[in-house]
Amino acid sequence: PEETESDTTTALSSFPLEKRRTSTGLFIASTFSEFFQFFHLSTTFSSLTKGTLTLLLFTPLPFTHIHTCRRFGHNYTMDDTVEHNDGMGDPHHDVSYTSPQPASLITDLADLDLFEEVKPRTFHLFKDLPPEIRTKIWRLAAPKPAVVERISNSTTLAYELHRPVPALLQVCQESRAEMLYDPENPRGLRDEQFEMLHLSRGHQAQGKGVYMNYRHDTLFIYRGPAQSIMPSALSFINLRHLAMEWGLRPCWVQGHCHEGVRLLRQFPNLKTFTLLVTFHPFNSVPLGESGRKHREQTQKRRALNEIKSWVLGAIDQALEQDANARAAAAAAAAAAEAVASNDANVDTTSGSSSESTSTTSATPQSSTHTTVSPAIWNPPEVRVVPKTKYWSMPALA
């Protein structure tokens, strides 16, 4: 705020255009005149854990009616009527944050050599970036979608969940607060945050569990339950992606897919279900002969389509049963309402003696069994794919 417009303009113009684009190219100013052009800054962050930070400068855009304001201890400029060159022409607000000392930050960033062979492992200017930029960095550095396995402990013979703690949850308090969902103090986007997944209530009481992003990560259950009812299903109520292997009894074998559908219905928020198929193709063509690979691919494709048709058929059958049950429940409710209406008419036309008689005779009718309408189930998207190394690799943090 102490700098004048001429000082800011001089500081910006002192860097040649080539140097702006090849080194860092970050230009931040606290005050701009109405005819000055401000640059949009787009950030691309690659391998943050290795200390690599790349900042790209894009096409300048015209700004009008620029004012200087304060927020979060940083300066920022906001325009009243900005028309982008995107053909829309609708005026809207754009906010661009700057650091407390733009001239010094420009100098420090311009001196960085992002093309040197040995890149520094620490970006010392990170703490000087605006909070909104730091938040975007943490989100862009989030780990890729992972597979969380439910494995069996060979010593205790109990099931456990396996996944290392994501690195971002151990960097600092700011990164942990941004990437970890806290129900008592929610902040940020929950869909992009990690939550603690417990295998059972006992594990929850003991503090055993893994961090999982329900929007992106997939739970892989290697062994299915002995029955189609899964005791720990309530622990996975927020689960969106589930994977299992084809051939696991009693759920996923030919002729018993309806048992697997009963298992899937215990996950109300499930979006995708993936069946992994392990192939042992039988091929009469000798190894190395032409056409062998094509024949194997044809066999796999035919098998995958056939398995998927079995699963979808079981799902359609379950939905049809639900529709019939709802229709029966609606008919039973209508019949009960008709009986109640007739009883009310009898009560109004009868005397006191007949009223007691009708009430006594209506008592056994009210105790008849009422059909319960099943809840509406939205089945997940079914995917049937070959099992590859991706599903066998340990989950990365």
CA pair distance 342, 313, nearest whole angstrom? 44
Planar angle of CA 160, 181, 41, nearest 5 degrees: 125
CA pair distance 144, 130, nearest whole angstrom? 25
Domain ranges of the chain: 5-122, 147-284+291-319+381-391
- Supply the pLDDT for residue 52: 37
Question: pLDDT per residue over 325-339, tens digit each?
Answer: 888 888 888 888 888
Q: By mean pLDDT, which of 89-103, 293-307, 332-346 is the weakest?
A: 89-103
Question: pLDDT per residue over 56-84, tens digit each?
Answer: 333 333 333 333 333 333 444 444 444 44
Mean pLDDT of 328-353: 76
pLDDT band for position 110 (cuts 50, 70, 90): confident
Instruction: Work out the number of other CB atoms within 10 angstroms of the CB of residue 394.
Output: 11
- Asked whether the predicted pLDDT for residue 305 surpasses 70, the reply is yes
CA pair distance 350, 358, nearest whole angstrom? 9
- Supply the pLDDT for residue 351: 55
Question: pLDDT per residue over 370-384, tens digit each?
Answer: 556 667 889 999 999
DSSP string, 69-101: EEETTEEEEEESSB--TTTT---B--EEE--SS
Mean pLDDT of 134-152: 87
- Supply the pLDDT for residue 384: 94
The residues near 123 (Cβ < 8 Å, ≥ 6 apart) are 51, 53
Check if the beta carbon of residue 110 is closer than 8 Å to that of residue 28. Answer: no
